[in-house]
Amino acid sequence: MHVAGKKQMDEFIFARVLHVLSVVLWIGGVAMVTTVLLPVLSQTKTVSERMVFFERFRCRFAAQARYTTLIVGLSGFYMVHVLDAWHRFMLLNYWWMHAMVLIWLVFSVMLFILVPLAKRRQLLEVTEQSLVVSEKAFVKIQRMHWILLILSLITVAGAVAGSHGWLMFGV
């Protein structure tokens, strides 16, 4: 560890606390949406009712997710920099670091690029037909959430184990 001095150590600890709290809020929110909200919505009478409620909910959660993913990215970059741990990205033992960056990148692209582009396109194409969402689209949303949640949980488990010295492929 290349952390020098108490002040830098305190900053590193603060960065790790922010990192973990932000991951908890972000991935915990994804878990709640995936395992609670979407199953409840799937029992709503019409698909358009589902999507209207889901959009309202998603807008509020997206704001939280944007802030937390931003904090996760900044704090993660800071910790790798302070530890001078860039070499870990060259080693298979630290697969969980690659997974963390990949999951963060997927969510960041979705939250900061794809969703805003889709919303802008929706605003330009507001017709009654564009408000009707198919059952197939809702199922696709559910499937995508499950895949992202499972990959996120595998990543969190790997990161916790790996950051405490359990390296799957030896030292």
- What band does 18 get if pLDDT is binned at 50, 70 and 90? very high
Lowest mean pLDDT among 1-5, 49-53, 58-62, 92-96: 1-5
Burial environment of residue 69 by CB neighbours within 10 A (0 to 12, 13 to 18, 19 or more): buried
pTM of the full structure: 0.84
**CA atoms of 108 and 153, how far apart (whole Å):** 17
The pLDDT assigned to 5 comes to 80
Is the per-residue pLDDT at 130 higher than 70? Answer: no
Does the pLDDT at position 79 exceed 90?
yes
Q: In this predicted structure, what is the pLDDT of residue 111?
A: 92
pLDDT band at 122 (very low <50, low <70, confident <90, very high): low
What's residue 157's pLDDT?
A: 95
Give 123's pLDDT tier (boundaries 50, 70, 90): low
Residues 103, 155 contacting (CB under 8 angstroms):
yes
Q: How far apart are CA 136 and CA 9, in angstroms?
A: 51
